[in-house]
Amino acid sequence: MTRLSGERRDVAIAATGFMPEEEGDALYTAALAAGASCPGLPMVEIGSYCGRSTVWFGAAAETCNVILFAVDHHGGSEENQIGWEWHDPTLVDAVTGRFNTLPHFENTMSRAGLTETVRTVVGDSPTIASTWTQQIAMCFIDGGHARDVAAQDYASWSVHIARGGLLVIHDVFTDPNLGGQAPFEEIYLAAKNSGKFEDVSATGSLRVLKRVK
C-alpha cells in the first residue's frame, strides 16, 4: 500500500469526515493503480462531504495527471440531518439554517492545493450521471447510505467505469452490527453479482473491485 505523506496528509486528517487513515491510503493506492491501468481517463468521487477522502483521491489523480470530479449536493445525507446520529451542528449554515458542507469542502481543497485537479460538481448524483458521456478510470462511492440512494449511485455510475478501471466502495460492512448494509448489499454485492467486477482488496470498510467485463 502506498502512503500519502507530507502536508496533504495533515490537511486530510484535519478535515471533518469519516475516512480512517489506513482506508485513505488504500483509496490513494487504488487511484494510482486505476490511473496506470486507464491512462488519461478522469476519475469520479460520489459523496465528498468536507473533502477528507478527496485529498487522498485528488492527490493520486494529480500524480496521474487526470481530473477528479467530486460529486455531492453538499446538503448532507439522511444520517447527517438534525436529530440523526451523524449530525454535526458546526456544518449548518448560520444564514439559511441548512446543512451545507460546500464551503468546508472548498476550503479543504484550497488548503491541499488541489483546486486545479479537483472539479467540484454540486448536484444530485444520478442526475449528473444521466448526462455523463465519458468513460472513467475509477469511481469511488461514498454517498448516502439509504438503500435506494446506494442502489442508484451504483446503477448510475458503474456503467461509466472503463474495463480495467476500479470501483471503490466505502462503509462496506458484512456484519449488520458494525454498520448499515446498503453499501454492502446494494453496491458491493450488486457489482459482484453482475459478473463485471472482481475483488482486488479490502482495507477496513473500503472495498476495491476491478471491472473485467
Query: What values do phi and psi take at 93, rounded to 5?
Result: -65, 130
Our answer to whether residue 74 is catalytic in this structure is no
- DSSP summary character for residue 185: I
Q: What is the dihedral of CA 97, 81, 183, 143, to 10 degrees?
A: 0
Give one word for 117, left, alpha or beta, with left for phi > 0 and alpha for psi -120 to 50: alpha
Catalytic one among 73, 74, 104, 145? 145
> ∠ CA(57), CA(59), CA(63), 5° rounding?
115
- DSSP summary character for residue 207: E
Inter-CA distances, 88 with 61, 76, 85, 127, 155, Å: 29, 10, 9, 26, 29
Catalytic residue set: 145
